Amino acid sequence: MGPGGPEVVTVIEREIPEPGAGEVRLAVKAAPVHPSDSVPRTRGFQGVPPPWVAGWDCAGVVESIGPEVDGLAVGDEVMAIVVPWRPEGGAQTELLLAPAGSVVPIPQGASLEQASTLPMNALTAISGLEPLGLAEGQTLAVTGGAGLLASYVIGIAKHRGLRVLADARPEDEELVRGFGADVVLPRGAGMVEAMVEAAPGGVDAVYDTALLTRSVFPGIREGGSIVPVRGWDGDAVEEGIHVHPVYVWTVVDRSDWLEEARALASRGVLALRVAATYPPERAGDAQRRMEAGGLRGRAVIVFTDGSG
């Protein structure tokens, strides 16, 4: 993949080395498409020459194992997460070399396509919730409630005993309630007012998957917090609000959190949603569909034997 629009996304052949110490090599069967997958074709990765390979996470079968790897065996069905700007590239590849600490078994009862959608967004959800330090019974508001990341935040927060508010369009209200939201807020105009009505004095924190940023400050109590998912352009603390940006690339080795997400998905606490599947040759179409917005789940690239 080089600079340009979705039309520059093509299938290429690359050599994938044997796994070294602490590494495994996966035969990837499914890799989801995320909004950030447009980065390599629009900006590239500084210090990494093209072609660039997109993709954060995947699911597949352990193909080979390097030295000093415990708990994994050839043939295991697993899910994995990697940083796409590493020299080896991202997860949208038939063979993937990954650190063993970023690889865990897939959830019970899940298909490989479903499992592939879990690692990146689950780690994002958990790593954003951790610094908030919310206690059981406190209130969290989640923006973009119908989205995949938001659904994981809602499910994990409810599992931890939090009271959860989340916004949704009328047609998505039942969907968001199904994720575990205690109160569904109107999306757009009136959301902040509804937050304050549901939580007089303001919510304890907002997990901002919809990138509403400062517009939700009036709905947060003094001394409360906000978790923005794509960085922050202001001070660490402003207007009495604590800001905790989340950067999933810093936690890709948290196998304990991956195991937590696996357990929750196995129990049905987290819904694994595949919106559509595409062959590798149509990865550009998958990116177009993701960029169009409105997906209730992830577009997933599916690799089959001999797909090239």
Q: Evaluate whether residue 258 is within a structural domain.
A: no
Query: What's the average model confidence in pLDDT over 240-267?
Result: 96
37 and 83 both lie in a single domain: yes
Same domain membership, residue 191 and residue 106: no
Mark whether 143 and 90 lie in a shared domain.
Answer: no
Q: Contacts for 33-37 with beta carbons within 8 Å, 24 or more apart?
A: 33/92, 33/278, 33/283, 33/286, 33/287, 33/289, 33/290, 33/298, 33/299, 33/300, 33/301, 34/120, 34/290, 34/298, 35/290, 35/291, 37/84, 37/90, 37/92, 37/287, 37/290
Residue 124 lies in a domain: no
Tell me, yes or no, whether 259 lies in a domain.
Answer: no
Pairing of strands 57-65, 23-32: antiparallel
Digit-coded pLDDT (tens) for 143-202: 999 999 999 999 999 999 999 999 999 999 999 999 999 999 999 989 999 999 999 999
CB 195 within 8 A of CB 212: no
**Average pLDDT estimate for 251-260:** 97
Residue 164, strand partner residues: 140
Domain span at residue 58 reads 6-118+272-302
- Check whether residue 284 and residue 204 sit in a common domain: no
**Same domain flag for 12 and 53:** yes
Same domain, yes or no, for 12 and 71? yes
**Do 112 and 11 share a structural domain?**
yes
Question: What CATH number should be reported for the domain holding residue 232?
Answer: 3.40.50.720
Q: Is residue 87 part of a domain?
A: yes
Q: How buried is 237 (Cβ within 10 angstroms: 0-12 exposed, 13-18 middle, 19+ buried)?
A: exposed
Extract the tokens encoding 222.
């003094």
Residue 43 lies in a domain: yes
Higher pLDDT, 43 or 146: 146
Residue 307 pLDDT grade (very low, low, confident, very high; cuts 50, 70, 90) = very low
Is 222 contained in some domain?
Answer: yes
Domain boundary among 231, 246, 261: 246
Q: Do 241 and 175 reside in the same domain of the chain?
A: yes
Report the CATH number that the domain containing residue 66 is assigned in CATH: 3.90.180.10
pTM for the whole structure: 0.93
Q: What pLDDT is stored for residue 15 in this prediction?
A: 83
What are the backbone angles phi and psi of residue 47, rounded to the nearest 5°? 85, -5
Residues 106-122: tens digit of each pLDDT? 999 999 999 999 999 99
Question: Using the 8-state DSSP alphabet, how is residue 260 labeled?
Answer: H
Alpha-carbon gap, residue 21 to 10, rounded angstroms: 31
Q: How many domains does the chain have?
A: 2
Has residue 123 been placed in a domain?
A: no
72 inside domain: yes
